[in-house]
């Protein structure tokens, strides 16, 4: 029994479509030969990988690994290359005023949750924060001052002067920052 493949005359990786006029039916050997010809004519790595896989030179698993490796090489062409002022300004204008969707924020949180920072990364963050002034704010209700992050936990809308509640550390028991129990 002869096995037929659908071959894109102009491959999809080169901008070809799934239009019937762009697809021909060929056997496996002809399919491998056509990809070899495309590779020799245009030098695209995708055609070389397809040829080697169809001809049995490499396994499907090796073809998948080679495809991933070659695709990742393409992402590194801009790595470390500084953007021009014009590029930066164009990006800034495009993003200014755009609010990220909740889905986008949740997706990024999910990716970053549980990620461990290396000691080198922690040290680099520590060094970058050296000498930076931390914003000090004052609670309008009780007059206490402190760092903005901690103050928003205990003061402003949650200040005991307006809520009438004393803040308890029950929720912090077992937390490495809670030194004493009340």
Residue given tokens 């060929």 in the structure block: 26
Decide if 178 contacts 169 (C-beta within 8 A).
yes
pLDDT value, residue 182:
45
What is the rounded distance in angstroms from the CA atom of residue 27 to the CA atom of residue 160? 79
Close Cβ partners of 178 (under 8 Å, ≥ 6 residues apart): 169, 172
What is the rounded distance in angstroms from the CA atom of residue 53 to the CA atom of residue 62? 8
Q: Mind listing the pLDDT tens digit of every residue in the chain (182 residues)?
A: 888 999 999 999 888 899 999 999 999 999 999 999 999 999 888 999 999 999 999 998 999 988 888 877 766 655 667 889 999 999 999 999 999 999 999 999 999 898 899 999 999 999 988 888 888 899 888 889 988 888 888 888 888 877 777 766 555 555 555 555 44
Decide if 67 contacts 46 (C-beta within 8 A).
yes
159-172 in b/e burial notation, b at 16+ Cβ within 10 A? beeeeeeeeeeeee
pLDDT value, residue 141:
85
Domain ranges in the chain are: 4-75, 136-167
pTM: 0.41
- DSSP letters for 77-141: GGTTPPPPHHHHHHHHHHHTTPPPPHHHHHHHHHHHTTPPPPHHHHHHHHHHHTTPPPPEEE-TT
* Alpha carbon separation from 178 to 34, 172, 175, 181, 182 (Å, rounded): 70, 6, 5, 8, 10
pLDDT value, residue 171:
54
176's enclosing H/E stretch is none
């Amino acid at each position: 029994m002869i096995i037929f493949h659908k071959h894109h005359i102009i491959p999809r990786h080169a901008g070809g479509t799934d239009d019937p006029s762009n697809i021909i039916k060929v056997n496996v050997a002809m399919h491998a030969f056509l990809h070899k010809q495309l590779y020799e004519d245009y030098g695209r790595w995708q055609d070389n990988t397809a040829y080697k896989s169809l001809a049995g030179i490499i396994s499907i698993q090796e073809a998948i690994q080679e495809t991933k490796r070659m695709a990742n090489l393409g992402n590194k062409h801009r790595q470390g290359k500084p953007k021009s002022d014009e590029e930066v300004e164009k990006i800034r204008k495009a993003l200014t005023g755009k609010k990220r969707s909740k889905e986008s924020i949740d997706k990024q949180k999910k990716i970053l949750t549980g990620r461990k920072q290396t000691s080198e990364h922690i040290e680099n963050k520590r060094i970058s924060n050296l000498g930076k002034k931390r914003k000090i704010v004052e609670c309008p209700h009780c007059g206490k001052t402190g760092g903005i992050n901690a103050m928003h936990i205990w003061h402003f809308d949650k200040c005991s002067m307006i809520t009438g509640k004393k803040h308890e550390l029950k929720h912090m028991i077992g937390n490495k920052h809670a030194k004493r129990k009340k």
